[in-house]
Structure 1
Amino acid sequence: MNSGRAPRRRSERRFRALPPVVVGVAALTLSACGGGGKSGGGGDTNFVTNTGGISSVAPADRKPANQLSGETLDGEQLDVADLKGKIVVMNVWGSWCPPCRAEAPHFAKVAKETESKGVAFVGINTRDPNKGPALAFEKDYGVPYPSLYDPAGKLIVNGFPKGSLNPQSIPSTIVLDQDGKIAARALLALDAEKLRKMIDPLIAEK
């Protein structure tokens, strides 16, 4: 006897919502330079960089960063919280990213110039499926500071609170004040002059 209901097809499937981390990484990938969506990027220069420029936050409105810790490209353990008391410049980069290569010499230069002024640089290397190309990048550009190894982008997604200035493209640069709070962000490749414009006001606060 026919009940009037259409028979269910075996091919019908329910789609589950993606976990927040997966959604966040996917969003970052969409706004990342190079790669065309391929894991680890590629050699082309068809990149999209957020044009939002440089943003800053008044001291009273700053939010603390979440936990940012893990293994560096050199195999050491690093916790950004241990750098409290210093101004921390965090640069999100990948060896496959053309704008990252363009800004790397500027970051190496400014890192050396500002070390004596209480500024520490920390990279977050992402979307490099193995460390080899990233280590070669650091050697080629004389990068003097450590980088956390974050191939899946989990630190990028979870390390910065919602509603704060967080990374939304590759490269991105986040500057923490001496209290570990997010003070400035750039969503584009930086030269030395633009980088100093982010850092110098925080040095003056000390």
Structure 2
Amino acid sequence: MSSTAPDQPSPARTPQARAGHALADAVREVEHHVAAAGWDAPVRVFALVRTQAALAAEPGLADQLTPDVLAAARADDWHLTSVEQEGLPAAEDLEQLLAALSWPDAVDGVAVTVERVVLPPEAEEALPADPAEALEQLLTHPQRQDVRLAVGVLRTGATWCALRTRAHDADDAVAQGADLVPGLVAAVRATLD
């Protein structure tokens, strides 16, 4: 027997919960798509749009979607379609790129993928202060880990992250959570302001 009143939606089916679920699905799909291209890739940026709204605005999009995606979109108004952005503005680093992005209201969210080299905290603390020397040691350190981060945010406030390591490069070894990389989540969220 349900503890919610008959006229109230269950917490799992509220619009906020459906949006969060749709975002998690979209981030997993983006990460899997980027992973298929292999490692040593540039930053990639994807606009996230609600599929039903995209189909209403551009009916020809239906010809590009598989039947299962169309069925999922019909069943859930929060189903998201990712649209990779090409011709990104030139930028010296990820922070500068994200600061240069803005989105029209029709875009419900954003997903970004980026590769990074990470070290255990104790190894990172031992890096030299000189940036060039630190980079050289980072790239040759025996404990370094190459990771790919996929971060998605929605205008609703929902967030989702996926993290894959090169050492464990398998679809079933991707870590996931709402706030795995808080700084990057905040930077991606700022592109929607």
TM-score bracket for this pair, using the shorter chain length: under 0.3
TM-score by length of 1: 0.23
Q: Which structure has more RCO (C-alpha within 8 Å, separation ≥ 6)?
A: 1
Q: Indicate the structure (1 or 2) with the bigger Cα radius of gyration.
A: 1
